Amino acid sequence: MNVSVIGTGYVGATTSAALAELGHQVIGVDVDQKKVGMLNAGRLPFYEEGLETLMQALLKKGALAFTTDLARAVTGSDILFLTVGTPSQADGSANLRDLEQAVRQIGRALNGHKIIVSKSTVPVGTGERVKAWLQEEVTKRGLSIPFDVVSNPEFLREGKALHDALHPERIVIGCESDKARAMMTKLYQGMQTDFCYTTVRDAEMIKYASNSFLATKISFMNELARLCEQTDTSISKVAHGMGLDSRIGSQFLRAGIGYGGSCFPKDVEALLHLARENGVPLRLLDAVATVNREQSGWFLQKVRTALGTLSGKQIALLGLTFKPGTDDIREAPALKLIPVLLAAGAQITAYDPKGMEAVGRLHPKVRCAKDAYAALDGADAALLLTEWPEFLKLDFARVIGSMRKALFFDGRNALDGAKMRSYGFTYDGVGERGTA
């Protein structure tokens, strides 16, 4: 099938490559000429493991191309995916400006029946707005052109996005016609997964509900970790015992310094905004967001207490991205800690294999080190904020000899506390204080 993907950001680029790999002819569309040139040259503007290599192979094969010519993409495609950004506004609602602009351009170029698929994360009811925008543009042209609007939300994990796109746990298709359902089923033909067919509204809600529930698990464990510290219990052992229950499951039970990234914070706030608009308070989800906002401050207070003061102290940050396997720093816990540390007079040295350039632009006072050992040299305290595999394999006997004070705060509970203490560190995890 001929497919266009409008928007070549994180979701759009991954979706384009995955659909081309499935055997479809795919055109990625973006308004940024420089970005399109970069993509056609086989280079990604962000890091995602395996994606650039696959993209290069698909470009060479002729199964994938990128363009700024939206009209040409529309006329030559059977299915059009919308993957433009829907960032949060000040009140938590999703900004649909770019989505509306893209939809109206599609309406001006429609030349026959098309399936318009929203893969962007959008509020419930957006499908109806998309339909109205399209119809308005078609009517302006004095034409009557049939089309279908479908919701097909993405569930991609950054760092594992290509795997998730090629091997999805489920495919949710919200549609209103048999023709749209048949075409979407054909599009994903051959994928061994569960298909969930719903209305457009249900599909839109499934996306928000899924991310918000995962965020709820994280915040529950983070708040419970605070109690574990006061009761001399281990949150990691508690999580293991909980996760053995099939009704609970083991995923998203690791306590830490809070969730970040481009999805969870934004989607939780958008669902809360939708609830307020409809007069239905989501008290549990409101608490989830509150716990997440407070978690980094709670963690930093442990550092402040151990050091007595942050003023004049050398703090080493290990990890700046919101999770390993990506260069994405959006809503990363490190970005919450850095301004507070600097304002308190601390000197920060940081290392991250992928996130230093972006953080350096935002916070030029942060000294970016060449590697983790350089970041830790002379530090009064080390804060592990992103569990990159290389941090877990450090020579800690070497590290403790280079630090001014052997204070190590593990914000991801990624290291073995007993082993760290055997090296001589004063080790403090999240919900792990007092455990052996």
Which segments are annotated as binding site for substrate? 155-158, 207, 252-256, 260, 323
Q: How far is CA 345 from CA 110, 286, 314, 316, 407, in A?
A: 58, 33, 10, 14, 18
Confirm if 58 and 94 have CB atoms less than 8 A apart.
Answer: no
Cα–Cα distance, 86 to 100 (Å, whole number):
10
The answer to whether 406 and 378 have CB atoms below 8 angstroms apart is no
368 is catalytic: no
| Structure letter (DSSP) for residue 326 | B
Please state, in angstroms and rounded to a whole number, the distance separating the CA atoms of residues 71 and 321.
37
C-beta of residue 366 within 8 angstroms of C-beta of residue 348: yes
Q: In what order do the strands lie in the sheet with 314-318?
A: 367-368, 347-351, 314-318, 381-384, 407-410, 426-428
* Tokens found for residue 4: 């266009």
Burial of 145 (0-12, 13-18, 19+ CB in 10 A): middle
Binding-site positions: 30, 35, 86, 121, 155-158, 207, 252-256, 260, 266, 323, 330
Spatial distance between the Cα atoms of 143 and 209, rounded to a whole number of angstroms: 38
Pick the closest to residue 317 from 393, 416, 391 (CA basis).
Answer: 391
Compute the distance between CA of residue 131 and CA of residue 103 in angstroms, rounded to an integer: 9
Task: Decide if 381 contacts 315 (C-beta within 8 A).
Answer: yes
Which is the catalytic residue, given 175, 228, 263, 368? 263
A 10 A CB-CB count for 87 gives 12
- Its sign, for the CA torsion 120, 326, 389, 291, is negative
Q: Are 346 and 315 in contact (CB under 8 A)?
A: yes
Q: Terminus-to-terminus CA distance in the chain, angstroms?
A: 58
Three-state SS for 415? coil
**What residues are designated binding site for NAD(+)?**
30, 35, 86, 121, 158, 266, 330
From start to end of 205-318, where are the E strands?
Answer: 314-318
- What letter represents residue 138's amino acid? V
A 10 A CB-CB count for 143 gives 11
User: Which residues does the annotation mark as catalytic?
Assistant: 263
